[in-house]
Amino acid sequence: MANMFALILVIATLITGFLWCLDKFIFAPKRRERQAAAQQATGDALDKKTLKKVGPKPGWLETGASIFPVLAIVLVVRSFIYEPFQIPSGSMMPTLLIGDFILVEKFAYGIKDPIYQKTLIETGHPKRGDIAVFKYPDDPRLDYIKRVVGLPGDKVSYDPITKQVTVQPNCSSGQACDNAVPVTYSNVEPSDFVQTYGRREGGEASSGFFQTPKNETREDGIRLGERKETLGDVTHRILTVPIAQDQAGLYYKQQNQPLATWIVPPGHYFMMGDNRDNSADSRYWGFVPEANLVGRATAIWMSFEKQEGEWPTGVRLNRIGGIH
């Protein structure tokens, strides 16, 4: 089921819509009749202000009917066109930063009903390289955002040492796969970001990501590495932690496949975060069913300077625009 806000919005729209129809088709004609009779009895001597007193509209009815068009527009736009989301973590850095507010194109992967998220009209399917929002398969109440790396039938392999991906399409039939999708990498360069490690009260581990000039250091910080990954026709930047070793033992182990290799089942997708060593993605929990897809991230409409779980400290106006 969709999140609680969507359910409340639908219920509120239905209630106010009922009040709007009640007023338009029942109460409004009766008010006009009373006003016409009063005007006729006084020989057209009543002004508009006085006429309103003859057939007053109840406050509750006026309020409900007046907000219906607003709620209806919000419901249509949010359910079928665009929905705003906030980026809460650094798993998609450097493409998306903590504090970015994005617009998600809801109709990219099908027109769905706002309550049960069942596809009503098919409009398209994810492509390799798309940045997609989806319901986390292990807890559909949570919205995740990752990059689409594997399509149905793809064989996806990840080397935890070189931190590189290989993709071979059309492998689900058990026959020989098609030629591998071109996946290339640039050399690793120092990024603009330093990741810090520390302890919160109570001893819980915490981390932060700070843009820091490359000639400066930060206490308890490690400068992340950055390289360009070209996945088919899509080129984007990814981050890695130079000293990090992937926890390959925690990878999702698919039956009849070696560790760190997965064949994407029909109707499912393999997702990865651009911040490769700081992303809990399909490597760890498996595949995303097509039914869980929410939409494609298309633009940043606001961005606040902040860390995970903290209040904003500024605004990043330079980040407003398309997602690259």
Residues marked as catalytic: 91, 146
Under a CB-based contact definition with an 8 Å cutoff, are residues 55 and 32 in contact?
yes
CA gap 297, 322 in Å, rounded: 9
Burial of 305 (0-12, 13-18, 19+ CB in 10 A): middle
Token pair of 145 as six digits: 């955002």
Q: Which residues contact residue 287 at a Cβ distance below 8 angstroms, ignoring those fewer than 6 apart?
A: 137, 262, 264, 265, 268, 269, 270
Pairing of the two strands 119-121 and 131-135: unpaired
Specify the 3-state DSSP secondary structure of 271: strand
Query: At CA 216, angle to CA 212 and CA 217, rounded to 5?
Result: 85
Select from 298, 297, 301, 302 the least CA-distant residue to 314.
302
Determine the distance from the C-alpha atom of residue 309 to the mean position of all C-alpha atoms in its chain, rounded to a whole number. Answer: 18
CA gap 63, 51 in Å, rounded: 20
Burial of 299 (0-12, 13-18, 19+ CB in 10 A): middle
Residue with token string 């493409």: 95
Residue with token string 């779980």: 309
